[in-house]
Structure 1
Amino acid sequence: MKISNYILIIISLVWLCGLKAHSQQIDTAKENTAIKQLIKNYEDAWNRHDPKGLADNYTLDATWVNWFGAYYKGREDIEVHYQQVHITYFKATHYYTRAVEDITYTHPDVAISHVRTGLDGDERFPGQTFEFRRMIILVKRDGVWKIFAGQNAKLEKGIK
Structure 2
Amino acid sequence: MTNDILVVGAISAETQAAVIGVVKDLEKAFNAHDPIALSEQFAQEASWTNAVGTRLDGREAIAEFSGPAMKTFLRDSYARYDVVKLLELAPGLIALNVQQTPTNRSGSPVEGPRGVTTYVIAQQRDGWKIVVGQNSAVNAPPAG
TM-score, normalised by the number of residues in structure 1: 0.74
Match of 2:88 in 1: 105
Alignment RMSD, CA only? 2.0
Alignment of 1:76-91 (within 5 A): 76-91=60-75
TM-score, normalised by the number of residues in structure 2: 0.82
CA distance in 1, matches of 2:90, 2:16: 14
| 1:129-153 deviation line (CA, Å, top 9, x unaligned) | 1111100011101261100011011
Residue type of the alignment partner of 1:69: G
CA distance in 2, matches of 1:157, 1:106: 30
Is the deviation greater in 135-144 or in 80-89? 135-144
Q: How many residues align?
A: 129
Give 3-state SS (helix, strand or coil) of 1:89's partner: coil
Match of 2:120 in 1: 137
Larger RCO (alpha carbons 8 Å, 6+ apart) = 2
Residue type of the alignment partner of 2:51: W
Spell out structure 1 runs of 4+ moving beyond 4 A: none
Question: As a proportion of its length, which structure holds more strand?
Answer: 2
Match 1:95 to one of 79, 83, 93: 79
Q: CA deviation at 1:128?
A: 4.6
Give 3-state SS (helix, strand or coil) of 1:95's partner: strand
Change (3 A) 1:52 1:143: closer
Residue type of the alignment partner of 1:138: I
- Does 2:16 align with 1:37? no
Q: CA deviation at 1:158?
A: 3.0
Q: Which runs of 5+ in 1 are unaligned?
A: 1-24, 122-126
Q: Which runs of 5+ in 2 are unaligned?
A: 1-8, 105-109
Change (3 A) 1:153 1:27: closer
Percent identity for Structure 1 against Structure 2: 22
